Amino acid sequence: MNTDFPRDLVFTAALFGVAAFVWAGWAQESPPRSVWWRVLLGAMGLAGVALAALTIPTLIANWGSPSALRPGTGAFITYIVVFWVEFLLAGVLAFFAIRAGLSDLVAPLILAIVGIHFFALAPVLGQPVLFIPAVLLTLIAVGTAVLPASDVAHSFWCGVLGAPVFLAVGAWCGVVGTAALRTG
Q: pLDDT, tens digit, for every residue of 60-98?
A: 999 999 999 999 999 999 999 999 999 999 999 999 999
- Please tell me the distance from the alpha carbon of residue 153 to that of residue 92, in angstroms, as a whole number: 21
The mean pLDDT value for 142-162 works out to 92
CA proximity to 86, closest of 124, 47, 31, 51 = 124
Q: pLDDT, tens digit, for every residue of 94-141?
A: 999 999 999 999 999 999 999 999 999 999 999 999 999 999 999 999
Percent of the chain exceeding pLDDT 70 equals 100
CA proximity to 149, closest of 111, 108, 180, 112 = 108
pLDDT value at position 148?
84
The mean pLDDT value for 161-184 works out to 97
pLDDT value at position 151?
83
Alpha carbon separation from 10 to 25, 43, 69, 116, 133 (Å, rounded): 23, 22, 14, 21, 16
Query: Residue 184 pLDDT > 90, yes or no?
Result: no
- pLDDT-derived band at 149, boundaries 50, 70, 90: confident
Q: pLDDT, tens digit, for every residue of 57-69?
A: 999 999 999 999 9
What crossing angle do the helices spanning 131-145 and 154-183 adopt, rounded to 10°? 170
Query: Residue 150 pLDDT > 90, yes or no?
Result: no
- The residue ranges of every structural domain in the chain are 6-183
- pLDDT-derived band at 53, boundaries 50, 70, 90: very high
Instruction: Look up the pTM and report it.
Output: 0.94
